[in-house]
């Protein structure tokens, strides 16, 4: 692999992957992805980012030096299996960065798919918003091959190394997201519960007086959650699995997954970060969720 100008492959052209690609191409790197079969929004995002198209996954794997997997968690394992199959005939070694929000247990299972293949497997956890206006997320890395990514440090993310153990970076991501996204799920549940009891106005007034930070976070975050909640259902389940593997309760994030499912199935669940109604406030969002909560069996995950 050329450390001066590696060719970067990308699995996933969501908001994070697309913005990463835009910053990397702006810094002079070539970024390649398979565009066939993508949504119109993803193709438009790819073109804006300067991503080159590969005809299929096998061609993508053959072309790139570093391949980032930045997908919805539910797609991580299946896509990694497909990459591993392509590597059987790969013409050169590849660095595969598993950058999805999945548990350390699943990351290690995915790493096992690449045993005996010409690949450096790197565990990655992305913390922060997609790069924009000079601000970049942190890319936490673990695995013996993680130092080979230092040439990418700066334009699209700040690289932070956590050592050689596969699972450490993904575990770090899980713990962090358990607090941030998990807290957003708990906030949403509290506001919906207050509305279901006819106490929303009194709840808001008390928070304004005694917990203004909680209220500000709810007002900022609850309206935007439906745009991401569909992806975050599985992420909450991965956090559950992470906690349970450590002997801790997974119940907190089983509940968080149920709240994300409620948000994803809401009248606003079709929104994306680009298309969401930014004029809709927290109160309006909560009042739309409350009757839906009464009709869904959240405890069973249906």
Distance CA 222, CA 210 (A): 20
Would you state the pLDDT for residue 92? Answer: 85
Tell me the whole-structure pTM to 2 decimals: 0.93
Would you state the pLDDT for residue 297? Answer: 54
Dihedral (CA of 56, 138, 231, 271) sign? negative
Would you state the pLDDT for residue 185? Answer: 98
- Structure tokens belonging to residue 154: 């700066």
Would you state the pLDDT for residue 227? Answer: 95
Would you state the pLDDT for residue 29? Answer: 97
Which residues does the chain have with pLDDT short of 70?
A: 1-4, 296-302
Would you state the pLDDT for residue 2? Answer: 43
Distance CA 49, CA 9 (A): 13
Distance CA 152, CA 113 (A): 25
> Whole-angstrom distance between the N-terminal and C-terminal Cα of the chain?
47
Full 3-state SS string of the chain: CCCCCCCEEEECCCHHHHHHHHHHHHCCCCEEEECCCCCHHHHHHHHHHCCEEECCHHHHHHHCCEEEECCCHHHHHHHHHHHHHHHCCCCCCEEEEECCCCCHHHHHHHHHCCCCCCEEEEEEEEECCCCECCECCEEEEECCCHHHHHHHCCCCCEEEECCCCCCHHHHHHHHHHHHHHHHHHHHHHHHHHHHHCCCHHHHHHHHHHHCHHHHHHHHHHHHHCHHHHHHHHHHHHHHHHHHHHCCCCCHHHHHHHHHHHHHHCCCCCCCCCCCCCCCCCHHHHHHHHHHHHHHCCHHHCC
Would you state the pLDDT for residue 294? Answer: 77
Would you state the pLDDT for residue 274? Answer: 85
Would you state the pLDDT for residue 4? Answer: 65
């Amino acid at each position: 692999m050329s450390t001066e100008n590696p060719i970067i492959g990308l699995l996933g052209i969501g908001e994070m992957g697309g913005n990463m690609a835009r910053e990397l191409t702006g810094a002079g790197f070539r970024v390649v992805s398979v565009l066939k079969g993508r949504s119109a929004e993803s193709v438009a995002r790819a073109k804006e980012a300067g991503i080159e198209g590969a005809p299929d996954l096998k061609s993508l794997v053959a072309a790139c030096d570093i391949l980032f997997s930045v997908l919805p968690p539910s797609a991580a394992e299946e896509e990694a299996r497909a990459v591993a199959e392509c590597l059987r005939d790969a013409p050169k070694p590849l660095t595969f960065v598993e950058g999805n929000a999945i548990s350390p247990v699943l990351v290690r299972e995915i790493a096992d798919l690449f045993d005996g293949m010409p690949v450096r497997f790197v565990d990655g956890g992305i913390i922060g918003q997609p790069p924009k206006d000079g601000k970049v997320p942190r890319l936490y890395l673990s695995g013996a091959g993680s130092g080979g990514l230092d040439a990418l440090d700066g334009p699209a993310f700040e690289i932070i190394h956590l050592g050689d153990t596969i699972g450490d970076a993904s575990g770090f991501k899980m713990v962090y997201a358990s607090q941030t996204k998990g807290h957003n799920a708990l906030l949403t549940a509290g506001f919906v519960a207050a509305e279901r009891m006819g106490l929303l106005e009194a709840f808001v007034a008390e928070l304004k007086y005694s917990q203004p930070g909680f209220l500000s976070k709810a007002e900022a975050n609850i309206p935007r959650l439906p745009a991401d909640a569909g992806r975050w259902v599985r992420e909450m389940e991965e956090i559950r699995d992470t906690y349970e593997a450590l002997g801790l309760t997974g119940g907190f994030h089983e509940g968080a997954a149920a709240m994300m499912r409620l948000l994803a199935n809401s009248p606003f669940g079709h929104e994306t970060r680009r298309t969401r109604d930014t004029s809709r406030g927290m109160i309006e969002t909560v009042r739309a969720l409350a009757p839906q909560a009464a009709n869904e069996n959240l405890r069973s995950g249906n």
